[in-house]
Amino acid sequence: MSVFPHPVLVADIGGTNCRLSLVEAPGAPHQPLARIGTGTHATPEAAFEAVLETLTMRPRSAILAVAGPLEGRRSQLTNASWIFQGEDIARALTLDQGLLVNDFEALAASLPVLQPSSIETLVAGAAEPDGLKLVLGPGTGFGAAAFLPKGGRGVLVPTEAGHIGLGPEDATEEKLWPALSAGLPRVTVESLLSGDGLVRLHRAVASASGAAEPDVSAADVTTLARDGDPSALMAVVCFWRLLARVAGDLALAFKATGGVYIAGGIVPRLLPLADLGTVERVFRAKPPMEDLTARFALHVITAADAAEQGLAAIAADPARFGLDDPARLWVG
């Protein structure tokens, strides 16, 4: 008997949005159900039930990808108020089984199943088939996770890399850093490589040039940059440099010889503004480890549903990812 009786409800739950899909049978593609704002209901159970009550086919299991740290069967979103307790969700939705994973665990699980058309290569490398693959990226926050293949199986490694400290590395960053760090207890990767981080970079660039502090969103910064606004363009340039630097540092930390993959909704929109030569130089510039970093490849996942694809893969064969662990399953 399958660990997760189908149909399986799968959900990608971030600090801003929650996307729900249904996987009807093992190996079947996920069928989108709804996209709702995170926090539009008092509890995740209430939000899910509002969608499920409209269906003729109820799920028997659920696998939820949550943008926050896990403690066994429990998690709380880092950038929103929802709390997830597996046993309570199973009881409320009358489920036979369920599992919580970190949102970047779900993205890491998508790496073996994504089609080549869903991936754009920024920096070519010499990928090892059984090398560790690392997925990271900015969104409402910043996440990272690894997938370590071992034959036909593998291990998913979630992290809290978004909360690593970050400091300036050149004269341009040193000039911007006082404005970037203003009001923060410490500057972290997530402080700058996120939607709010892009806004923070834009304000710092405008302040350094003597312009009035703009009141814009991350989407506005992207639009302004595409339209040629100097402050927005410089903010995007800084964003790409910082992202390439952090991606290279984390590739070293994990020895990601299987490749580094950037995920999330922000980066695909910024792809037309990427200076690939600068991205490659910054990504690889890790003296004295240039021989190793020359082997690393850097890609962007362009599929908007990569997390759902990863969740469907977990539902079909959780042992493939080391997720048939009774300590994490909600029932039994």
- Tokens 């269906």 belong to which residue? 55
Describe the chain by its helix, strand, coil percentages, rounded to 5. Answer: 40, 25, 40
- Tokens 């903010």 belong to which residue? 235
Q: What's the pLDDT score for residue 78?
A: 85
Q: What's the pLDDT score for residue 332?
A: 79
Residue 170 sits at φ, ψ, to 5 deg, of -145, 180
Q: pTM of this prediction? A: 0.93
Q: Quote the CA–CA distance of 329 and 172 in Å, as a whole number.
A: 49
> 221 and 173 in contact (C-beta within 8 Å)?
no
End-to-end CA distance of the chain: 14
Domain boundaries, the chain: 8-108+306-321, 115-302
Q: What's the pLDDT score for residue 309?
A: 97
Class of the CATH-defined domain 115-302: alpha beta
- pLDDT tens across the length of the chain (332 residues): 579 999 999 999 988 889 999 999 998 999 999 999 998 899 999 999 999 999 999 999 999 999 988 988 999 998 888 999 999 999 999 999 999 999 999 999 999 999 999 999 999 999 898 999 999 999 989 999 999 998 778 999 999 999 999 999 999 899 999 999 999 999 999 999 999 999 999 999 988 877 766 788 999 999 999 999 999 999 999 999 999 999 999 999 999 999 999 998 899 999 999 999 999 999 999 999 999 999 999 999 999 999 999 999 999 999 999 998 899 999 97
Q: What's the pLDDT score for residue 1?
A: 56
Q: What's the pLDDT score for residue 212?
A: 64
Same CATH fold assignment for domains 8-108+306-321 and 115-302: no
Q: What's the pLDDT score for residue 40?
A: 87
Rg of the Cα atoms in the chain: 20
Q: Which of 264, 201, 207 is nearest to 237 (CA)?
A: 201
Q: What's the pLDDT score for residue 80?
A: 85
> 272 and 311 in contact (C-beta within 8 Å)?
no
Phi-psi region of 39 (alpha: psi -120 to 50; beta: other; left: phi over 0): left
At the fourth CATH level, the homologous superfamily of domain 8-108+306-321 is ATPase, nucleotide binding domain (3.30.420.40)
Per the document, the length of the chain is 332
